[in-house]
Chain A
Protein backbone atom coordinates (compact mmCIF):
# COMPACT_ATOMS: atom_id res chain seq x y z
CA UNK A 1 0.00 0.00 0.00
CA UNK A 2 0.94 3.65 -0.19
CA UNK A 3 1.16 4.36 3.52
CA UNK A 4 2.61 2.88 6.69
CA UNK A 5 0.61 -0.18 7.67
CA UNK A 6 0.31 -1.43 11.24
CA UNK A 7 -1.31 -4.54 12.63
CA UNK A 8 -3.30 -5.36 14.58
CA UNK A 9 -5.24 -2.12 14.87
CA UNK A 10 -6.44 -3.15 18.31
CA UNK A 11 -5.06 -5.66 20.78
CA UNK A 12 -6.50 -6.62 24.14
CA UNK A 13 -4.51 -8.99 26.30
CA UNK A 14 -4.13 -10.08 29.87
CA UNK A 15 -1.41 -8.80 32.12
CA UNK A 16 1.69 -10.97 31.90
CA UNK A 17 1.16 -12.09 28.31
CA UNK A 18 3.58 -11.27 25.48
CA UNK A 19 2.43 -9.22 22.49
CA UNK A 20 3.84 -8.55 19.03
CA UNK A 21 3.04 -5.45 17.04
CA UNK A 22 3.82 -5.22 13.36
CA UNK A 23 4.78 -2.32 11.13
CA UNK A 24 5.12 -2.33 7.34
CA UNK A 25 6.75 0.94 6.26
CA UNK A 26 6.34 2.85 3.04
CA UNK A 27 8.23 1.09 0.26
CA UNK A 28 11.72 2.51 -0.12
CA UNK A 29 11.83 4.14 3.30
CA UNK A 30 15.02 3.08 5.04
CA UNK A 31 14.35 4.75 8.38
CA UNK A 32 11.72 3.33 10.70
CA UNK A 33 10.61 4.60 14.11
CA UNK A 34 8.39 3.36 16.91
CA UNK A 35 6.61 5.80 19.19
CA UNK A 36 4.11 5.36 21.99
CA UNK A 37 1.18 7.64 22.70
CA UNK A 38 -0.51 7.59 26.08
CA UNK A 39 -2.69 10.05 27.96
CA UNK A 40 -0.19 10.65 30.69
CA UNK A 41 3.04 10.77 28.70
CA UNK A 42 1.98 12.10 25.31
CA UNK A 43 3.99 10.96 22.30
CA UNK A 44 7.26 9.28 23.21
CA UNK A 45 10.05 7.95 21.00
CA UNK A 46 10.90 4.28 21.53
CA UNK A 47 13.38 3.07 18.93
CA UNK A 48 14.87 3.95 15.56
CA UNK A 49 15.98 1.65 12.75
CA UNK A 50 18.20 2.52 9.83
CA UNK A 51 17.96 -0.47 7.56
CA UNK A 52 18.02 -3.55 9.81
CA UNK A 53 20.14 -2.03 12.54
CA UNK A 54 18.86 -0.09 15.53
CA UNK A 55 21.41 2.56 16.39
CA UNK A 56 19.07 4.29 18.82
CA UNK A 57 17.11 2.26 21.37
CA UNK A 58 17.21 4.97 23.97
CA UNK A 59 13.44 5.30 24.28
CA UNK A 60 12.64 1.69 25.17
CA UNK A 61 11.18 1.92 28.69
CA UNK A 62 12.41 -1.44 29.98
CA UNK A 63 14.10 -4.67 28.94
CA UNK A 64 10.64 -6.15 28.41
CA UNK A 65 10.51 -4.15 25.18
CA UNK A 66 12.42 -5.25 22.10
CA UNK A 67 12.16 -4.69 18.37
CA UNK A 68 13.61 -6.08 15.21
CA UNK A 69 13.51 -5.29 11.54
CA UNK A 70 14.19 -7.77 8.78
CA UNK A 71 14.94 -7.25 5.13
CA UNK A 72 15.06 -3.52 5.66
CA UNK A 73 11.29 -3.51 5.66
CA UNK A 74 8.84 -4.97 8.19
CA UNK A 75 9.46 -4.34 11.87
CA UNK A 76 8.07 -6.08 14.93
CA UNK A 77 7.84 -4.54 18.39
CA UNK A 78 7.59 -7.15 21.13
CA UNK A 79 6.49 -6.51 24.69
CA UNK A 80 7.08 -9.36 27.10
CA UNK A 81 5.20 -9.93 30.35
CA UNK A 82 2.89 -7.00 29.67
CA UNK A 83 1.92 -4.64 32.45
CA UNK A 84 -1.06 -2.33 32.70
CA UNK A 85 1.16 0.71 32.22
CA UNK A 86 2.00 -0.65 28.76
CA UNK A 87 -1.52 0.24 27.63
CA UNK A 88 -1.14 2.88 24.92
CA UNK A 89 -1.29 3.46 21.20
CA UNK A 90 1.89 2.28 19.52
CA UNK A 91 2.73 4.27 16.42
CA UNK A 92 5.14 3.38 13.67
CA UNK A 93 6.64 5.92 11.29
CA UNK A 94 8.96 5.71 8.33
CA UNK A 95 10.99 8.16 6.30
CA UNK A 96 13.49 8.35 3.51
CA UNK A 97 16.97 8.81 4.81
CA UNK A 98 18.84 11.25 2.63
CA UNK A 99 22.05 12.45 4.21
CA UNK A 100 21.87 15.95 2.84
CA UNK A 101 18.30 16.69 3.69
CA UNK A 102 16.10 15.42 6.42
CA UNK A 103 12.83 13.88 5.34
CA UNK A 104 9.59 14.01 7.34
CA UNK A 105 8.28 10.94 9.09
CA UNK A 106 5.01 9.45 7.91
CA UNK A 107 2.92 7.64 10.48
CA UNK A 108 0.67 4.61 10.47
CA UNK A 109 -2.71 4.43 12.16
CA UNK A 110 -1.23 2.78 15.22
CA UNK A 111 -2.02 -0.26 17.34
CA UNK A 112 -4.19 0.40 20.38
CA UNK A 113 -2.94 -1.94 23.10
CA UNK A 114 -5.07 -2.58 26.16
CA UNK A 115 -3.75 -4.63 29.05
CA UNK A 116 -6.43 -6.05 31.33
Chain B
Protein backbone atom coordinates (compact mmCIF):
# COMPACT_ATOMS: atom_id res chain seq x y z
CA UNK B 1 0.00 0.00 0.00
CA UNK B 2 1.19 3.47 -0.80
CA UNK B 3 2.15 5.56 2.17
CA UNK B 4 1.37 8.77 0.33
CA UNK B 5 -1.44 8.83 -2.19
CA UNK B 6 -2.06 11.67 -4.57
CA UNK B 7 -5.10 10.44 -6.43
CA UNK B 8 -5.11 13.23 -8.99
CA UNK B 9 -2.53 12.49 -11.65
CA UNK B 10 -3.21 15.57 -13.74
CA UNK B 11 -5.39 18.64 -13.29
CA UNK B 12 -6.06 21.45 -15.73
CA UNK B 13 -7.62 24.73 -14.68
CA UNK B 14 -8.16 28.06 -16.31
CA UNK B 15 -6.18 30.94 -14.92
CA UNK B 16 -7.76 32.60 -11.85
CA UNK B 17 -9.65 29.47 -10.87
CA UNK B 18 -9.03 27.93 -7.45
CA UNK B 19 -7.65 24.40 -7.35
CA UNK B 20 -7.15 21.86 -4.55
CA UNK B 21 -4.56 19.11 -4.70
CA UNK B 22 -5.34 16.11 -2.55
CA UNK B 23 -2.93 14.12 -0.41
CA UNK B 24 -3.72 11.15 1.81
CA UNK B 25 -1.04 9.51 3.90
CA UNK B 26 -0.59 6.39 5.97
CA UNK B 27 1.63 5.99 9.02
CA UNK B 28 1.72 4.18 12.34
CA UNK B 29 3.95 6.78 13.95
CA UNK B 30 2.41 9.36 16.27
CA UNK B 31 5.11 11.86 15.36
CA UNK B 32 5.60 12.54 11.69
CA UNK B 33 6.02 15.37 9.23
CA UNK B 34 4.25 16.24 6.02
CA UNK B 35 5.57 18.32 3.17
CA UNK B 36 4.59 19.79 -0.15
CA UNK B 37 7.15 20.35 -2.88
CA UNK B 38 6.75 22.00 -6.26
CA UNK B 39 8.65 20.79 -9.34
CA UNK B 40 8.38 23.29 -12.20
CA UNK B 41 9.37 22.31 -15.75
CA UNK B 42 12.95 23.34 -14.94
CA UNK B 43 13.13 20.29 -12.69
CA UNK B 44 14.25 21.52 -9.29
CA UNK B 45 12.15 20.45 -6.32
CA UNK B 46 11.12 23.53 -4.36
CA UNK B 47 10.08 23.23 -0.73
CA UNK B 48 6.71 24.83 -0.03
CA UNK B 49 5.62 23.83 3.45
CA UNK B 50 6.26 21.51 6.36
CA UNK B 51 3.69 20.46 8.94
CA UNK B 52 4.29 18.28 11.99
CA UNK B 53 1.73 15.84 13.29
CA UNK B 54 0.99 17.83 16.42
CA UNK B 55 0.07 21.00 14.60
CA UNK B 56 -3.29 20.81 12.89
CA UNK B 57 -3.63 24.51 12.29
CA UNK B 58 -4.32 25.37 8.72
CA UNK B 59 -1.82 27.66 7.11
CA UNK B 60 -2.11 30.35 4.49
CA UNK B 61 0.76 31.86 2.57
CA UNK B 62 -0.36 34.33 -0.05
CA UNK B 63 -2.43 32.39 -2.60
CA UNK B 64 -1.45 29.05 -1.06
CA UNK B 65 -3.25 27.34 1.79
CA UNK B 66 -2.97 23.93 3.40
CA UNK B 67 -5.61 21.91 5.23
CA UNK B 68 -4.22 19.23 7.55
CA UNK B 69 -6.76 16.81 9.03
CA UNK B 70 -5.44 13.93 11.12
CA UNK B 71 -8.89 12.39 11.38
CA UNK B 72 -8.86 11.67 7.65
CA UNK B 73 -5.06 11.45 7.26
CA UNK B 74 -5.15 14.18 4.68
CA UNK B 75 -2.98 17.17 3.91
CA UNK B 76 -4.57 19.03 1.04
CA UNK B 77 -3.15 22.02 -0.79
CA UNK B 78 -5.23 24.80 -2.30
CA UNK B 79 -4.07 27.44 -4.76
CA UNK B 80 -6.38 30.42 -4.96
CA UNK B 81 -6.66 32.48 -8.13
CA UNK B 82 -4.24 30.22 -10.01
CA UNK B 83 -1.64 31.68 -12.34
CA UNK B 84 0.25 30.24 -15.29
CA UNK B 85 3.42 30.22 -13.16
CA UNK B 86 1.73 27.71 -10.86
CA UNK B 87 1.96 25.10 -13.62
CA UNK B 88 4.17 22.36 -12.20
CA UNK B 89 4.15 18.92 -10.66
CA UNK B 90 3.31 19.05 -6.97
CA UNK B 91 4.49 16.36 -4.60
CA UNK B 92 3.21 15.55 -1.16
CA UNK B 93 5.71 13.76 1.08
CA UNK B 94 5.80 12.07 4.47
CA UNK B 95 8.71 11.80 6.89
CA UNK B 96 8.61 9.29 9.71
CA UNK B 97 11.43 9.84 12.20
CA UNK B 98 11.17 6.31 13.55
CA UNK B 99 13.75 5.08 11.06
CA UNK B 100 16.16 7.77 12.15
CA UNK B 101 16.94 9.10 8.72
CA UNK B 102 13.95 11.40 8.21
CA UNK B 103 13.85 10.24 4.62
CA UNK B 104 10.99 11.53 2.53
CA UNK B 105 8.38 9.18 1.09
CA UNK B 106 6.79 10.92 -1.86
CA UNK B 107 3.46 10.55 -3.53
CA UNK B 108 3.37 10.08 -7.30
CA UNK B 109 2.71 13.78 -7.82
CA UNK B 110 -0.06 15.83 -9.37
CA UNK B 111 0.67 17.67 -12.59
CA UNK B 112 -1.11 21.00 -12.58
CA UNK B 113 -1.58 22.89 -15.82
CA UNK B 114 -2.92 26.42 -15.59
CA UNK B 115 -4.30 27.57 -18.92
CA UNK B 116 -4.21 31.29 -19.70
Contact = CB atoms under 8 A, between A and B. Distances in A.
Interface of A: 31, 33, 35, 42-43, 45, 48, 55-56, 58-59, 89, 91, 93, 95, 102, 104-110
7 contacts: A31-B102, A42-B109, A95-B102, A105-B104, A107-B45, A107-B47, A109-B42
A43 B6 CA distance: 13
B44 A104 contact: no
B13 to A, nearest CB: 23
B101 interface: yes
Closest 9 CB pairs of A and B: A56-B101, A48-B101, A107-B45, A43-B106, A45-B103, A104-B47, A109-B44, A42-B108, A104-B50
A102 B101 contact: no
A55 B101 contact: yes
**A contact face: mostly helix, strand, loop, or mixed:** strand
Interface of B: 33, 35, 37, 42-47, 50, 52, 91, 93, 95, 97, 99-109
Contacts of B109: 42-43
Given A102-B95, A107-B44, A59 B103 contact: yes
A85 B59 CA distance: 40
B42 to A, nearest CB: 8
